[in-house]
Amino acid sequence: MKVLVVGGGGREHAIIRKIKENPTVEQIFALPGNGGIAADATCVGIAATDVPAIVAFAKEQQVDYVVVAPDDPLVLGCVDALSAEGFPCFGPNAAAAAIEGSKVFSKNLMKKYGIPTAAYEVFTEEAAAVEYLKTAPMPTVIKADGLALGKGVIIAQNFEEAAEAVHSMMSDKVFGKSGDQIVIEEFLTGPEVSVLAFTDGITVKPMVSSMDHKRAGDNDTGLNTGGMGTVAPNPYYTDAIAKECMETIFLPTMNAMNAEGRTFKGCLYFGLMLTPNGPKVIEYNCRFGDPETQVVLPLLESDLLTIMQAVTSQTLSETEVKFADKHACCVIMASKGYPTKYDKGFEITIPEEIAKNVFVAGAAIKDGKLVTSGGRVLGATAIADTLGDAIKDAYGLVEKIHFDNAYYRHDIGARAMQAAGEEK
């Protein structure tokens, strides 16, 4: 089989490594991939958002299966365009990808179908939003409607901060058209859990839970990032909570999307907060999370491509999705200065014997050498029988990897260790 994977980050590297384990796979193309992915797939310089070029490439190479991994091509209708040409795909169509592409859509969906989430109001006019904020409880949460590279969420501590956030989104258009509509919602508290789930619109099979570390600095300080590290499973996510989430969130979401004529087929990401009033949805993503995928897929014992094909053919109920009873930790090594300004072009050295533990996100090949080309450069993932060992081993990997200006958090998994300790 010839498989095409759209995307080029650490998530795509983890997906490609897993797909490679399937014995029927002869060749994997990555569009555009990256310098590190090039060790595992044929990288072709087509942007993940260039839907017509992706379709043309799929035709030219007569690929047998396509995985569309990032949010923007999904929201742009990449799966619709490929399906129209007869290519079997993994990923939702544009109508279903709206669950991530529009916060207004997803909030209204949850309200309509009684899925637990933060209380909210939608605004299309700045003046009305500011008027509302005058009596809103603080802190409050302001969200741009559309995709904003994970930066469209502002937690405001007081009226001034909130009004400024609304102004920057609605008048200054810092997120472009994504700020034409905004959601102002209730500030929730509690541990956060990421649950990625395979769904074909008939069955939902959740993957092992995980915990992201979004802030740039140790002890959850500094700016929000795409994610600085992950552990799986998430110790806060007990079997009882998993059962509750299946009944109150996962199945109701799948059914709601079916009822709206937007059947979701692919990986549905539930960003949950375990509040004192039960689990609530903070956000949906229409795709695998990154860096969650870098701890979740290495724990998957079943064959990924087989599961993906079962999602496409809506036979997921008959397909095994099994995870190892182990722990994983991924530490992201970034360029110093990320998520704002950083330098690129530094040579990366990864000892051969640990290359299989490394998923490359932001690297290019220059003069035959692997060099940094992005903010998040790579993720180092270790698997062990205990969480403590997985964390220790992941940091052991980090010590063996070198590039100038490397930056990483030192406390990935620390909160999970604390939670696991409290549980005992």
User: Which residue's CB is nearer to ligand AMP, number 180 or number 220?
Assistant: 220
Q: Is 150 in the site for ligand GLY (CB under 6 A)?
A: yes
Residue 238: contacted member of ligand AMP, ligand GLY, none (CB under 5 to 8 Å, by partner type): none
CA-CA distance, 69 to 12, in Å (whole number)?
Answer: 7
Question: Which listed range, 124-132, 195-203, 282-290, 312-320, lies at the site for ligand GLY (CB under 6 A)?
Answer: 282-290
Question: Which listed range, 10-18, 180-188, 286-294, 381-389, lies at the site for ligand AMP (CB under 6 A)?
Answer: 180-188
Q: How many CB atoms lie within 10 A of CB 402?
A: 14
Q: Is 290 in the site for ligand GLY (CB under 6 A)?
A: yes
**3-class secondary structure, 370:** strand
Of 38, 55, 163, 188, the residue at the interface with ligand AMP (CB under 6 A) is 188
Q: Is 214 in the site for ligand AMP (CB under 6 A)?
A: yes
**3-class secondary structure, 341:** coil
CA-CA distance, 40 to 239, in Å (whole number)?
Answer: 36
Question: Which listed range, 61-69, 186-194, 326-334, 410-418, lies at the site for ligand AMP (CB under 6 A)?
Answer: 186-194
Of 71, 185, 303, 393, the residue at the interface with ligand AMP (CB under 6 A) is 185
CA dihedral 92, 93, 96, 99 (to 10 degrees): 70
Of 285, 309, 312, 381, the residue at the interface with ligand GLY (CB under 6 A) is 285
Q: How many CB atoms lie within 10 A of CB 34?
A: 26
Site for ligand GLY in 165-224 (CB under 6 A): 212
Query: Quick check: 329 and 235 in contact, CB under 8 A?
Result: no
Of 12, 185, 292, 393, the residue at the interface with ligand GLY (CB under 6 A) is 292
Residue with nearest beta carbon to ligand GLY: 289
**β-bridge partners, 379:** 332, 359
User: Which residue's CB is nearer to ligand AMP, number 46 or number 274?
Assistant: 274
Question: Which listed range, 41-49, 60-68, 251-259, 286-294, lies at the site for ligand GLY (CB under 6 A)?
Answer: 286-294
CA-CA distance, 221 to 411, in Å (whole number)?
Answer: 11
Structure tokens at 400: 């063996």
Q: Is 289 in the site for ligand GLY (CB under 6 A)?
A: yes
Min dist CB 227 to ligand GLY, Å, is: 4
Residue 145: contacted member of ligand AMP, ligand GLY, none (CB under 5 to 8 Å, by partner type): none
Classify residue 402 by its DSSP letter: B
Tokens 């051969």 appear where?
Answer: 352
SS3 of 107-175: HHHHHHHCCCECCEEEECCHHHHHHHHCCCCCCEEEEECCCCCCCCEEEECCHHHHHHHHHHHHCCCCC
Site for ligand AMP in 273-302 (CB under 6 A): 282-283
CA-CA distance, 182 to 145, in Å (whole number)?
Answer: 5
Site for ligand AMP in 353-392 (CB under 6 A): none
Closest-CA residue to 177 (of 75, 48, 80): 75
In 3-state terms the chain splits into helix, strand, coil percentages (rounded to 5) of 35, 30, 35
Tokens 């620390």 appear where?
Answer: 414
User: Which residue's CB is nearer to ligand GLY, number 40 or number 290?
Assistant: 290
Tokens 């569309």 appear where?
Answer: 68
In Å, how far are 106, 236, 241, 279 from 244, measured between CA atoms? 20, 13, 5, 8
Residue 185: contacted member of ligand AMP, ligand GLY, none (CB under 5 to 8 Å, by partner type): ligand AMP
The beta strands (E) that lie in 65-201 are given as 65-68, 89-90, 120-123, 140-144, 153-156, 182-186, 192-199
User: Which residue's CB is nearer to ligand GLY, number 254 or number 295?
Assistant: 295
Tokens 């058209």 appear where?
Answer: 177
Binding-site string for ligand GLY from residue 304 to residue 333, where x marks contact by CB under 6 A and - marks none: ------------------------------
Question: Which listed range, 82-90, 185-193, 238-246, 332-340, lies at the site for ligand AMP (CB under 6 A)?
Answer: 185-193
User: Which residue's CB is nearer to ligand GLY, number 76 or number 211?
Assistant: 211
Residue 72: contacted member of ligand AMP, ligand GLY, none (CB under 5 to 8 Å, by partner type): none
Which residues bind to ligand AMP, rule: CB under 6 A? 118, 141, 150, 153, 155, 185-188, 192, 214, 224, 271, 282-283
